[in-house]
Amino acid sequence: MLQPITHCNPTLSRREAIASSMIGGMYWSLSHFLSLSARADNQSPKAKSAIVINLGGGPTHVDSFDLKPDAPAEFRGEFNPIDTNVPGIQISEHLPKLAQCADKFAILRGVSHSIAGHELGTAYLSTGNRPVPSLIYPGYGAVVSKELPGSADLPHFVAIPETPQKPGYLGVRYAPLRTNAAPKAGTPFSVRGIALEDEQSIEQFEKRQKLLTQLDTTFEGQAANSKLLDGLDKFDQQTFDMISSPRAREAFDVSLEKSEVAEPFGESKFGMSCLLAMRLISAGVRFTTINFGGWDTHANNFKSCKENLLPQLDAGLSALFNTLATRGLLDSTTIFVTGEFGRTPKINDKAGRDHWPRAMFLLLAGGGIHGGQVIGASDANGMGPAGDIITPDQAAASFYHSLGIDHRKEYHTATGRPVMIVREGSVIPGLFA
């Protein structure tokens, strides 16, 4: 374990503090730094589970959570800001429901990096590590399922309907269960592998399992000498528990949810995915991720945002925050929302915006995170960070911190190389309540 240089503060090393205070030409006073880092420090983790929402394609920051009403016309865009339920914080007029629960989440502005490609950008934002050619870093879901093992009869990591996150050097054991589809409103929903409806009844499954146990005897007594056989036996038991117990099946079936609970989520794919994520977390699944694509708005940015993307996001996400809060689960669940980058503040000739990693937004909520605040800022036209940069590494470190995972913990790759969960990260000062 690399020793932090300063002893007073395990979350922010002196080097990082100096580095972050130098970037953007801003110099913090030492006392300012100390007061902030002390705040970051005094946090005991609260979250036991997490939801990561990937806005695939790169959502436009200046039209959603970082509006620039005073910017010149070629930057400003068509949307107006509205007030939220937190005085002083404004977001897009097409996010009215989120505006009414802005006290529940923190908005990070001026998050910044330099990778403008979808795949690598996504890899960066899904791991907190800038991608390198020699190693595939594990995504949030893999790390969380390794660090916080959940109950045996539930999948530990569910992707709705899929995810760009990879288990990387942690191996296939930490790969997600993909639902491959989003649920439809009012329709029973089941997931491949977990379902036991048409093809197999529970009774039949148990009958088959009994036959399997009786005939699978060739390697009896060998498990002690073979890690593989031992592993197969363990997964056999766990699979049986998961499929035969109603817990997992019912967690996936969103049609079992009361209509007054389901309604606010809306009937869109994303809304229904949020409803499913909420049910899974309530049932005890550790980690759920939702993939919500379509944000790559090179053309017709305003039309797509206004008519499609923002309303879906608004309904689904606000319902997710509110329902978790009502159920008393928001404190024990960290929610992380972002895409791979922001979009060019300057509008292109197709009324679109292009890839822009220099400035983007990120939402963090639950898990002891202090909602109703904005951290960081972008400059006048949303081109880059104003003042201190917030890096994807810091966001990742903060995410792990909320779950009580030390982001400096080292794993060893197959070749024995030591690698930290997030090497360059540090907890964002002021984020936690």
Partner 1 sequence: MRRILTSVFWVLTLSESVIAADVVPAVDRRFASKTAETPSFQRHVLPLLGRLGCNGRACHGSFQGQGGFRLSLFGYDFEADHKALTGGDKPRVDREQPEDSLMLLKPTQELPHKGGKRVTVGTWQHRIIQRWIEAGAAPAKDDDAEFMTLEVEPKEIVFQKLGESKPLKVIAHWSDGTQEDVTPLCRFRSNDEATASINESGIVTATGKGDTDVVAFYDNGVAPVQVLLPVSDRIGPKYPSVPTPTKIDELVVAKLRKLGVVPSDLCTDEEFLRRVSLDMTGTLPTPREVTDFVADKSSDKRRKKVDELLERPAYAAFWTTRLCDLTGNTESTGPLGGEQALNREKATQWYLWIHRRVKDNVPYDKLVEGIVLAVSRRPDQSFEDYSAEMSAYFRKDNPVDFAERDNLPYFWSRRTVGKPEDKALSFAHAFLGVSLQCAQCHKHPYDQWTKQDFDQFTAFFNGIRFGDSTRDRETSKKMSAAHELVGDPDSGTYKRKFQSLLEEGKVVPFKEVAVPVQKKVAARAKSAKSNPKLGRVITPKLLGGEEVIAGEYPDPRQPLMDWVRQEDNPYFARAFVNRVWSVYFNVGLIDPPDDQNLANPPSNPALLDYLTAAFIKSGYDMRWLHREIANSRTYQLSWRANETNQLDERNYSRAVIRRLPAEVAADAVELATASAEERRQLDEDPINTRAIGIVNGHVGAKANNYAATLFGKPPRQINCDCERSNEPSLLQTVYLRNDEEVLKRLANKHGWLNELYREKNLDRDALIREAYLRTLGRPPTEPQFELARAYFKESKDNVSGLRDLLWALLNSKEFIVNH
| Residue ranges in contact with partner 1 by CB under 8 A | 1-3, 5, 15, 117, 119, 133-136, 155, 162, 166, 169, 171-173, 175, 177, 192-196, 199-200, 204-205, 207-208, 211-212, 214-216, 218-219, 222, 225-226, 228-229, 231-233, 235-236, 238-240, 242-243, 298, 413-415, 417-418
Residue 361 beta carbon to partner 1: minimum distance, rounded to whole angstroms: 24
Q: How far is CA 70 from CA 19, 80, 172, 348, in A?
A: 31, 10, 49, 19
Tokens of 150: 């959940």
Question: Of 31 and 217, which has the nearer Cβ to partner 1?
Answer: 217
21 vs 11: CA distance, rounded Å: 15
CB 368 within 8 A of CB 432: yes
Residue 155 beta carbon to partner 1: minimum distance, rounded to whole angstroms: 8
Residue 352 beta carbon to partner 1: minimum distance, rounded to whole angstroms: 11
Question: Of 243 and 362, which has the nearer Cβ to partner 1?
Answer: 243
Tokens of 124: 């960066």
The Cα angle at residue 18 between residues 13 and 22, in degrees rounded to 5: 150
Residue 228 beta carbon to partner 1: minimum distance, rounded to whole angstroms: 6
Peptide bond into 161 cis (omega under 30): yes
Q: Strands, E, within 216-318: which ranges?
A: 287-292
Residue 335's SS3 state is strand
Task: Count Cβ atoms below 10 Å from residue 126 Cβ, excluding itself.
Answer: 28
Q: Which residues of 94-107 are buried (b: 16+ CB within 10 A; e: fewer)?
A: bbbbbbebbebbbb
Place of tokens 């000739």: 349
Residue 315 beta carbon to partner 1: minimum distance, rounded to whole angstroms: 26
Write the single-letter amino acid at 307: E
In eight-state DSSP terms, residue 198 is S
Rounded to the nearest 10 degrees, the angle between the axes of helix 14-22 and helix 30-41 is 120
Residue 314 beta carbon to partner 1: minimum distance, rounded to whole angstroms: 27
Residue 22 beta carbon to partner 1: minimum distance, rounded to whole angstroms: 15
Question: Of 68 and 166, which has the nearer Cβ to partner 1?
Answer: 166
Exposure on the CB side of residue 307, measured as CA atoms within 13 A:
6
Residue 322 beta carbon to partner 1: minimum distance, rounded to whole angstroms: 32
Residue 192 beta carbon to partner 1: minimum distance, rounded to whole angstroms: 5
363 vs 375: CA distance, rounded Å: 10
Question: Of 204 and 326, which has the nearer Cβ to partner 1?
Answer: 204
Q: Which residues of 38-59 are buried (b: 16+ CB within 10 A; e: fewer)?
A: ebbbebebbbbbbbbbbbbbbb
